[in-house]
A and B are shown apart, each in its own frame.
Chain A
Amino acid sequence: SQQGEEDPQALSIQEGENATMNCSYKTSINNLQWYRQNSGRGLVHLILIRSNEREKHSGRLRVTLDTSKKSSSLLITASRAADTASYFCATDARAGGTSYGKLTFGQGTILTVHP
């Protein structure tokens, strides 16, 4: 079963614009991760944010986490055509207080960046 829901399901923007994707989840988590997938191939890890963190940056990526609302957002600034891909959030939920890396993914957001 899918833990998270991404919003929107699809996003189409022009190069240079910012892209924001949202993710909601249902249970308590240890961390939340964002992945990118090109053309149905392997997933590329983008960023991990722990449950005690509220915001994290990596290059043009900014992730926020609101554990009270069980939601996260991924912002890609100054987008490029090469950012065109599917983006997934994945949660690593608590299991007896420990984390074994069992990730639960949302259904993803398809981002298209037009040149």
Chain B
Amino acid sequence: DAGVTQSPTHLIKTRGQQVTLRCSPKSGHDTVSWYQQALGQGPQFIFQYYEEEERQRGNFPDRFSGHQFPNYSSELNVNALLLGDSALYLCASGQGSGETQYFGPGTRLLVL
């Protein structure tokens, strides 16, 4: 049974560019959440998708957007990248209310 998978594992971009990160949830899960983890910090909630709609959103600007597909996989898009967007981006999946979430290995984004 495959766990949560994310791609790519590493990514280097320059300021002003746009990036798309991908996540496939654990089998049987229908909820996907995205988190940003800066170096030395705990993860911060970006948003959560359920039934292809954004259900909750954290304190992140509109440059951060997402999408959930009918197969429950999800994308995180970040526009107009800033140096401060450099972080580990984590995807987590769960069932329904998502009380227990399972995290993927993350995508490490470096913005130069």
Complex contacts, A30 vs chain B, CB 8 Å? 99
A41 near B105: Cβ-Cβ < 8 Å = yes
CB of A74 to closest CB in B, whole Å: 14
A90 CA to B90 CA, complexed, in Å: 14
Structural contact, A100 and B97, CB atoms closer than 8 A: yes
Contact in complex: A101, B42 (CB < 8 Å)? no
Q: In chain B between 66 and 112, which residues have their CB closer than 8 angstroms to a CB of chain A?
A: 88, 90, 92, 94, 97-106, 108
Q: Can you name the residue of chain B whose Cβ is closest to the Cβ of A35? A: B103
Q: A42-B104, A45-B103 are in contact. Are A100 and B45 (CB under 8 A)?
A: no
* Given A33-B100, A42-B104, A45-B100, A100-B42 contact (CB < 8 Å): no
**Cα(A43)–Cα(B41), bound, Å:** 13
| A-B complex: 4 closest residue pairs judged by Cβ atoms | A101-B98, A105-B42, A43-B103, A42-B105
Contact B103 A40 (CB under 8 A): no
Query: Is B97 a contact partner of A44 (Cβ separation < 8 A)?
Result: no
Tell me whether A99 is interfacial, beta carbon within 8 Å.
yes
Cβ contacts under 8 Å, A104 to chain B: 45
| Distance in angstroms between the alpha carbons of A48 and B101 in the assembled complex | 10
Interface residue B56 (Cβ < 8 Å from any Cβ of A): yes
Asked if A107 is at the interface of the complex by the 8 Å CB criterion, the answer is yes
Q: Does A2 contact B (CB under 8 A)?
A: yes
Q: Is the CB of B59 within 8 A of A1?
A: yes
20 contacts across the A-B interface (CB closer than 8 A): A30-B99, A41-B105, A41-B106, A42-B103, A43-B43, A45-B103, A92-B99, A98-B97, A100-B48, A100-B50, A100-B98, A101-B48, A101-B97, A101-B98, A101-B101, A102-B56, A105-B35, A107-B41, A107-B42, A108-B41
Query: Is there an interface contact between A42 and B42, defined as CB atoms closer than 8 Å?
Result: no
Question: Which residue from B43, B55, B106 sits with its C-beta under 8 Å from A100?
Answer: B55
